[in-house]
């Protein structure tokens, strides 16, 4: 199943996609949009183009596991996504994904404007890779449905 991953941000939102076999997560890009509804429409268009069957959306929890304003905004955005796409939207803990993304970009010596332009899509890839690993480790090959 093809899964779309979204790293929601107020100004920039990263998007990534898996392959049909749920092995590889690849960046799609970054959407620059402030309006949640317009952003949801753009992601819905990408989900149709990419033939996605599910969306995983990063949920920004605090380090102690609690949820602040950003997490509440993501929950609101998840509802917009469900309405616009008709797809299941799975929330996935995204603690430290942006920090990890910056670490990857440091290793590849990606700096300046290019770094700013790709960090959110790299974070979306990290969220998706985490989710794909979770699916591989928690579901047998015969059944990929959520438990």
Read off the CATH number of the domain in which 33 is found.
3.30.420.140
Beta-carbon contacts of 120 under 8 Å, excluding residues fewer than 6 positions away, are: 7, 9, 12, 13, 14, 30, 98, 101
Asked, for residue 145, whether it belongs to a domain, the answer is no
Could you tell me if residue 146 is inside a domain? no
pTM, entire model: 0.80
Residue 94 in domain = yes
* Nearest by Cα to 96 from 144, 63, 129, 71: 63
pLDDT at 113: 58
Give the domain extent around 42: 3-138
pLDDT (0 to 100) of residue 89: 97
User: For the chain, how are helix, strand and coil distributed in percent, rounded to 5?
Assistant: 45, 25, 30
Tally the domains of the chain: 1
pLDDT in 10s for each residue of the chain, 147 residues: 999 999 998 899 999 999 999 999 999 999 999 999 999 999 999 999 999 999 999 998 877 777 788 889 999 999 999 999 999 999 998 866 665 655 655 565 555 655 556 777 888 998 999 899 899 888 754 333 333
In a domain, 49, yes or no: yes
């Amino acid at each position: 199943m093809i899964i779309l991953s979204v790293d929601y941000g107020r100004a920039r939102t990263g998007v990534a996609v898996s392959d049909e076999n749920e092995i590889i997560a690849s960046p799609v890009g970054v959407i620059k949009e402030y309006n949640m509804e317009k952003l949801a429409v753009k992601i819905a268009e990408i989900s149709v183009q990419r033939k996605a069957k599910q969306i995983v959306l990063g949920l920004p929890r605090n380090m102690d596991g609690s949820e602040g304003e950003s997490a509440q905004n993501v929950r609101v955005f998840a509802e917009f996504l469900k309405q616009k796409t008709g797809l299941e939207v799975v929330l996935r803990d995204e603690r430290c994904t942006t920090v990890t993304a910056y670490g990857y970009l440091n290793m590849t010596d990606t700096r300046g404007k290019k770094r700013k332009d790709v960090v959110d899509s790299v974070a979306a890839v990290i969220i998706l890779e985490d989710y794909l690993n979770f699916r591989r480790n928690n579901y047998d090959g015969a059944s990929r449905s959520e438990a």
